[in-house]
Amino acid sequence: MAKMWAGRTDGVTDRIADDFNSSIHFDSRMYRQDITGSMAHAAMLGARNIITNEEADTLIAGLEGILADIDSGKLAIDMSCEDIHMFVEQELTARLGDVGKKLHTARSRNDQVALDLRMYLRDEITEIIGLIRDVLEALVEQAKVNADTIMPGYTHLQRAQPITFGHHLMAYAMMLLRDIDRLRDCARRLNVSPIGSCALAGTTYDTDRRFEAAKLGFDDICLNSLDGVSDRDFAVEFMSDVSVLMMHLSRFSEEIILWSSWEFKFVELSDAYTTGSSIMPQKKNPDMAELIRGKTGRVYGDLVALLTTLKGLPLAYNKDMQEDKERVFDCVDTIKMCLAVMAPMVATMKSIPENMRRAAGNGFINATDMADYLVRKGLPFRTAYKISGQIVARCIADGKVLETLPLDVYQSYSPLFGEDLFEEISLDTCVRKRISEGGTSVESVLRQIAFVTEKLTQL
Ligand code: ARG
């Protein structure tokens, strides 16, 4: 069949070229945005007397009918069309006759597709923020239960200082709050309408771009028509934000995987979010967390693919840009799935406080607190640090830990050591005394929880 754009050529393309060129098998997911955008366009054409008001009403009613029929499943999208824009126009003309052919006055698919993608992302960002919120709620609940659960805090994956599990979880809550902030910022910046840029240069019709933008809930219009049709910054920005978000989920997943290993056993995942092995009967594998970690690479790939596609593209629209949508859609689908599985996995995860405490107690995790003890007794920190290091070395040589080294041995290193040392270096004291703002003390964790809870009510 000849294409709707037949004219300059006979519009007959080779089947392979057709398949290669067509985007309907993926851009049909924007049918709602496409039709809604067209309704606003028809209304604008009517309001500016570019078509009659009656024609505008007919077009809008026709478009409403198409939307309802796709929604209800009565109308199947014709996959032989080149793209969703062509399909909607073809269907409209089939239903309305010649008046349907007026819809595409004073616009082009170039500004239309840019409009659709912005509207689509705007909707998806709202959904994604809702899903992040579910993860945040799960984190807050777990942090409340574990506000005083002592575990080892690590640097270099070496036991460093005692912290609480609640504190560790709230670190992820802070990351996710920033992710929401970034996505909101992206939604704000993308909420600028390109429609009316037309093919590239604007139009000779007396259009009202602001009318159309306002009808579609945009805050502003793109002020340069070339930029309007060439700009995919918003898609790159969205994928960057999702990449950072995935990086956070991946780091958390990695810790969940470590924590649920037999070597750590700090947490036990619910059976619902683990799998068994087909051969090893003892296995309970954290597949969901591993997949989240794995899919992070895929999202980074989407981002880099689009950046690479855009690099070196001359203005204005080039067909290369059709490659944007599958990458964006893949990002949207992936992040939504990851968040949807992360929330209940975290909510149902059980901490095992005795194992965490055992791991915290078995090393020299309180060595900093021993040095701080000497500082409080009057030694400069660097001197106290050195003595403490020597004591640790002595413990290792003697097969002891700080709690079991006799006081007289301590006193052979410094006369400042007294009986109160053992209370001062107990794990509970170490955590209780970390009162600095943002520290690991229980009060500080409760303050963080209150902060995040308050932020959630403002969303
Ligand atoms: N399917 C195209 C895309 O996704 C729509 C814009 C086509 N414009 C054009 N002049 N061929 O980019």
Q: How many CA atoms lie within 13 A of 43 on its CB side?
A: 18
Structural tokens at position 95: 């239903």
What's the chain's Rg over C-alpha atoms? Answer: 31
Q: pTM (2 decimals)? A: 0.94
Neighbours of 241 (CB within 10 A): 25
Nearest to 389 by CA among 426, 360, 381, 361: 381
- pLDDT value for 66: 98
Ligand 1 atom nearest residue 199's Cα: 10
Average pLDDT over every residue of 419-446: 93
Contact 41, 102 (CB under 8 A): no
Strand partners, 220: 192
Strand partners, 192: 220
Helix axes 287-310, 233-259, angle to 10 degrees: 160
| pLDDT range class, residue 4, cuts 50, 70, 90 | confident
Q: What would the pLDDT profile of 193-203 be if each residue is shown by its tens digit?
A: 999 999 999 99
User: 321: Cβ below 6 Å to ligand 1?
Assistant: yes
Answer yes or no: is pLDDT of 381 > 90: yes
User: 23: Cβ below 6 Å to ligand 1?
Assistant: yes
Q: What would the pLDDT profile of 160-212 be if each residue is shown by its tens digit?
A: 999 999 999 999 999 999 999 999 999 999 999 999 999 999 999 999 999 99
Report the mean per-residue pLDDT for the chain: 96
| Residues with catalytic function | 156, 277
User: 27: Cβ below 6 Å to ligand 1?
Assistant: yes
Q: What would the pLDDT profile of 6-42 be if each residue is shown by its tens digit?
A: 888 887 778 999 999 999 999 999 999 999 999 999 9
Answer yes or no: is pLDDT of 283 > 90: no
- The closest residue, in CA terms, to atom 11 on ligand 1 is 319
Instruction: State how far the Cα of 356 lies from the Cα of 266, in Å rounded to an integer.
Output: 6
- The closest residue, in CA terms, to atom 3 on ligand 1 is 322
| pLDDT range class, residue 261, cuts 50, 70, 90 | very high
Q: What would the pLDDT profile of 313-339 be if each residue is shown by its tens digit?
A: 999 999 999 999 999 999 999 999 999
Q: What would the pLDDT profile of 29-78 be if each residue is shown by its tens digit?
A: 999 999 999 999 999 999 999 999 999 999 999 999 999 999 999 999 99
Answer yes or no: is pLDDT of 308 > 90: yes
- pLDDT value for 12: 79
- pLDDT value for 3: 80
CA geometry: angle 351, 261, 425, nearest 5 deg: 55
Average pLDDT over every residue of 143-164: 96
Answer yes or no: is pLDDT of 2 > 80: no
Q: Indicate the Cα dihedral angle 451, 454, 458, 459, nearest 10°.
A: 70
Instruction: State how far the Cα of 348 lies from the Cα of 261, in Å rounded to an integer.
Output: 17
